[in-house]
Amino acid sequence: MIGKRILLGKTGFSLIYKSLLLFIILFKYCDKHSTNEVANTKRG
């Protein structure tokens, strides 16, 4: 019972961690993309 709970907690934590990591990567990519667009508009 306790072992299953720990396993479930680890699985849930890894899922949350992976989704959070993916969100951060996407956010950084979008942020970099938007800053590049701003730089391009300023240059042009």
| pLDDT, tens digit, 9 for 90 and up, residues 1-44 | 566 776 667 787 888 889 999 999 988 887 777 776 666 777 65
Identity at 13, one-letter amino acid code: F
For residues 41 and 29, give the distance between their C-alpha atoms in angstroms, rounded to a whole number: 18
- In the chain, what are the domain boundaries? 1-44
Find, among 30, 1, 35, the residue nearest to 9 by Cα.
1
pLDDT score, position 5: 74
pLDDT score, position 2: 65
CA distances from 16 to 10, 21, 24, 35, 43 (A): 10, 8, 12, 28, 40
For residues 42 and 39, give the distance between their C-alpha atoms in angstroms, rounded to a whole number: 5
